[in-house]
Structures are given as structure tokens and as C-alpha cells.
A = this chain, B = another copy of it.
Amino acid sequence: MTEEFEVTPYKVSGEVDYDELVDRFGTKKIDDDLIDRLARHGPLHIMLRRGIFYSHRDLDWVLDQYDKGVGFTLYTGRGPSGPVHIGHTMPWLFTKYLQDTFKASLWFQLTDDEKFMFYDHLSLEETKRWGYENALDIIALGFDPDLTNIFLDTEYIKTMYPTAVKAAKRINFSTIRAVFGFDNSNNIGSIFFTSIQTVPCFLESMQRESNVPCLIPCGIDQDPHFRVTRDIAEGLGFLKPALVHAKLMPSLAGSEKMSTSTKGEDTVFMTDDEATTKRKIMNAFTGGRVSVEEQRREGGNPEICAVYQYCLYYFEPDDAKLAELHASCQSGSILCGECKSRLFDKVWKFLENHQVAREKAKDRIEEFFVRD
């Protein structure tokens, strides 16, 4: 029997059953037909192959529109409450794949207002500063500057506010209570916020003064925002945004969603140095046994192992090697230390390259940012 779990943009708790979540949210699984269809546009992304991006709303329709020559725009975002970690970058790397494959424009929202209103300990000045810090990580991933618009809510509000207000008029507090689990103790900014979150779905259409389909790659925890958006989009004269949903990357402690609210030891930040990265990975939660002897005899459990999950999500792109790793773990022929060390090499190579690109990004902010 499945343990109780809860998933909203503001709370993930319990052991998430991703298949059940598809039923609960009323989304669709990405099926083999859709996978085949995506594969015809270019090499299939690892996160599609591995079922990390596994759920969608109207992704088939977006591909129809693309095939008809209408094209589509992409929208994703980041709540700038602290440094970016590896888990954050997973949907962004997937977004880059979509941009590269479909030559799609991208609206990248930094919700400095949201993070300020939801976190007691952060000032608006701090979330804005984190927005610019986080933008360096976004730019470093290699998005096309000609196709990418990064913006902070507080710096793009004049453009967004009229549409946000039109959205807000169509959403009552009953809906917010039901969708986000809010109550009377929520502040009125947090209650209003989903109407700001709605607008980037329509920014390309607003700019072109003509409706453009929008596809949102995001963690499935963000889906509730866009269920609200989809309910009101047509009433506002826009197309319903489509979504493609990822499972949430586990932390190094093995929990459902990497979080920056721990002291940071469960999470590899994009700016961590080599020693820090090594320490964190070497301390990761694994599916190993209490002793070497027992592990050699009984084998480990890759399914609950954070190190294996990291490989699965991104860090072992070779499917054959991943399968081998899985088997070796189960048979007891590989021990956790070796696996961790192997993962560290891959993660550190990724971070090292990223950190070089991130330095260069400091001179490239203006190539990407849009402001009122």
C-alpha cells in the first residue's frame, strides 16, 4: 500500500508515487508513441529515455503545431531563494534540449517576488540578488542568447501586471485553497502570486500580438500553478499552455526532492569546490549494507540509492553502463565507495566545466535579460 504523500508547488512530503500523481493531477504519461515522435526530431534526451520527464499535458498538440510550422515557445523558471544545485539544473538541461531541437524561444522567469513572499528569512533585495546569481548558472548551461529572455518579476512587472490582473479577476480564493492547500493564515501576496506565475505563458503571444503555443518543462510539483492557468487561458484570449513534467531528483540523503533548506550537505551546489563536492558525494545515502561482507553476500539496493539515482538522472548517459552498474550493485560485485568515487569524477567534471562557463556568464547578463 502506498504511503500518504502530498505534492504542491509549496510542499512535497511523503514517498511520492509518480504513477499515482499522474492520476491525481489528471495529466498523461509520455507513452511510446510520443517518445517515438520526439525521437524523430533528433537524439532522444536522456531524461526522456529514462522516464525522468514522464508526464505531460498537450505535448502531442504542441508537436502538431510544430509540424504545421506554427512552432512554439518555452517557459520555465526559478525561485531565487539561494544558490542553484544540481537538481535545479535537470529540467533546465531538458529545456535546453527542447530549445536546441525545436529552435524555440524561451522565457525564463526569476520569481524574486514569490520567494520573498513565501520565505520569512529573505528580503526582497536578497531574492533579487539571488536572481542575478542564479541567472549566471542558467546562462552557463548554454541557452541561445538570441532565443532566450531571462527576467526578474520585479523588473518585468510593468509588462506583466495588466495580464496578471486579468488572470487574478478569474481566480477566487476557493480555487487557491483547493489547489495549493492555502488557508486564512496565508499572506495576500502568496494568494495573488499564481496570477503572476500565469503571465509568462503568454509573453511570446503578447510580444508577437498573435497566439503562440507555449510548452512548460517543469518539475511535476509545479503543475498546480498551470492547471489554474489552463482553466483561465482561453477566457483571457490565449492558448492553454502545454506542460512536460519531470520527477523530482532525490537529494544525496535519498529524499524526494533536493532542497536548499537543509544545511547543504545533501545537495551539490553548482559553485561547490572539488573538496566540498567530494565530501558530499562520499557521504551520500546509498543502498549498501552495513558491512562489506554482507554487501558482497547479499548485494546492494540501487533503487533506494542516491548515487544510483544521480547516475540514472544524468550522470551515466550510457544505458548499457547504467544497467551494468545496477546489476553489479545487486550482485554485490561493486561496493558503494567505488560507485561514489565514480560518480564524483563525473559530477566534478560537470561542475568544473560549469564553473568556467559561469564565470564567463558574468559578462553576458545583458545578452539574456529583458526588463520593462
**A80–B158 alpha-carbon span in the complex (Å):** 19
Q: How many A residues face the partner with a CB closer than 8 A? A: 35
Check: A176 CB closer than 8 A to any chain B CB.
yes
Interface residues of chain A, those whose CB is within 8 Å of chain B, are 113, 116-117, 124, 154-155, 157-158, 161-162, 165-166, 168-174, 176-177, 182-192, 194-195, 372
Q: Contacts A161-B154, A372-B158 given: A189-B173 contact, CB under 8 Å?
A: no
**A64–B174 alpha-carbon span in the complex (Å):** 46
Residue of B nearest to A117 (CB): B169
CB distance from A196 to the nearest CB of B (A): 10
Contact between B185 and A195, CB atoms less than 8 A apart: no
Contact between A192 and B184, CB atoms less than 8 A apart: no
Contact between A157 and B154, CB atoms less than 8 A apart: no
**A173–B183 alpha-carbon span in the complex (Å):** 8
Contact of A117 among B113, B165, B177 (CB under 8 A): B165
Q: Contacts A161-B113, A162-B154 given: A174-B185 contact, CB under 8 Å?
A: yes
Contact between A172 and B187, CB atoms less than 8 A apart: yes
Contact between A172 and B184, CB atoms less than 8 A apart: yes
CB distance from A316 to the nearest CB of B (A): 43
Contact between A187 and B168, CB atoms less than 8 A apart: yes
Contacting residues, chain B, for A117 (C-beta < 8 A): 165, 168-169
**A184–B184 alpha-carbon span in the complex (Å):** 10
Contacting residues, chain B, for A173 (C-beta < 8 A): 173, 182-188, 191
Contacting residues, chain B, for A162 (C-beta < 8 A): 124, 154
